[in-house]
């Protein structure tokens, strides 16, 4: 430390899958430390269930947002940037903002960075990142699994599906686990293309429970099983968005923008 009293709090939902945590959430935090050496980097997870699980199983004590903010203030930090690793401005971001505002009085200055997909430019960049990392070959189709939410921000998934097509990637489709576009919609649209192979990948920061079970699991209702039942050859790429350098770079830039406000 160089005497700076500035900090960054990286806020994630959390995951109980150690391997993907190291490659995604931990990597994002390490990138923050490297990019902004004048700021001390802290972390918080919003899922109480996951925090309790990793504490009991691994002895890993990760605070919630208020706990982290109190510790940051106790460490003498006076300026704080809160940067979520959330994909969209949904329910988790709304709840995060409530917690941040509750602890706002602890600091002279608090600013909040945007989630991954906040502007049209963000969406366009991520379309190119995904296409560059996972672009399916001719006669292949890529199906991306977003989380989905009842929040109005869920419309971003349908918009992204359109943006992939508009950017020249007609064989990349967006779907969600818990909202629209749902798997049935994805199946119907992919069948229209008659691909020889379907590639499935999570569109979430970590490749956790949804990726391991809902996407690539062996249960009859997993995405993998449903596509195989339709006669497709299926391969799954279990990489969270946090593993892609282009995704991490965009989050770093959001933190920088917040710091400059």
In whole angstroms, what is the distance from residue 15 CA to residue 9 CA? 17
Instruction: Please enumerate in sequence order all residues whose Cβ is within 8 A of that of 174, keeping only pairs 6 or more positions apart, or say none.
Output: 144, 146, 157, 158, 160, 161, 164, 181, 203
Residue with structure tokens 């989905």? 148
* Active-site pick, 86, 147, 210, 254: 147
Active site residue 210: no
Q: What distance in Å separates the CA atoms of residue 92 and residue 3, rounded to the nearest whole number?
A: 33
What are the catalytic residues? 147
């Amino acid at each position: 430390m160089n005497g700076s009293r500035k900090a960054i709090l990286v806020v994630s939902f959390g995951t109980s899958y150690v391997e993907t945590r190291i490659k995604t959430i931990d990597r994002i935090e390490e990138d923050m430390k490297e990019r902004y050496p004048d700021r001390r980097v802290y972390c918080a997870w919003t899922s109480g269930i996951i925090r309790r699980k990793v504490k009991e199983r691994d002895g890993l004590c990760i605070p919630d947002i208020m706990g982290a903010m109190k510790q940051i203030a106790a460490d003498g930090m006076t300026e704080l940037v809160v940067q979520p690793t959330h994909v969209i401005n949904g329910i988790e971001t709304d709840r995060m903002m409530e917690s941040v505002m509750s602890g706002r009085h602890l600091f002279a200055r608090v600013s909040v960075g945007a989630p991954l997909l906040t502007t049209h430019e963000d969406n366009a960049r991520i379309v190119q990142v995904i296409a560059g990392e996972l672009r399916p070959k001719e006669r292949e189709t890529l199906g991306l699994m977003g989380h989905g939410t009842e929040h109005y921000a869920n419309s971003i998934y349908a918009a992204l599906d359109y943006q992939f097509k508009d950017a020249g990637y007609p064989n990349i489709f967006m779907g969600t686990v818990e909202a629209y576009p749902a798997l049935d919609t994805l199946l119907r649209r992919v069948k229209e293309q008659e691909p020889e192979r379907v590639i499935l990948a999570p569109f979430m920061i970590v490749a956790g429970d949804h990726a391991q079970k809902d996407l690539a699991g062996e249960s009859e209702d997993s995405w993998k099983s449903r596509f195989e039942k339709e006669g497709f050859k299926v391969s799954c790429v279990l990489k969270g968005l946090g593993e892609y350098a282009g995704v991490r770079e965009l989050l770093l830039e959001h933190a920088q923008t917040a710091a400059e406000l």
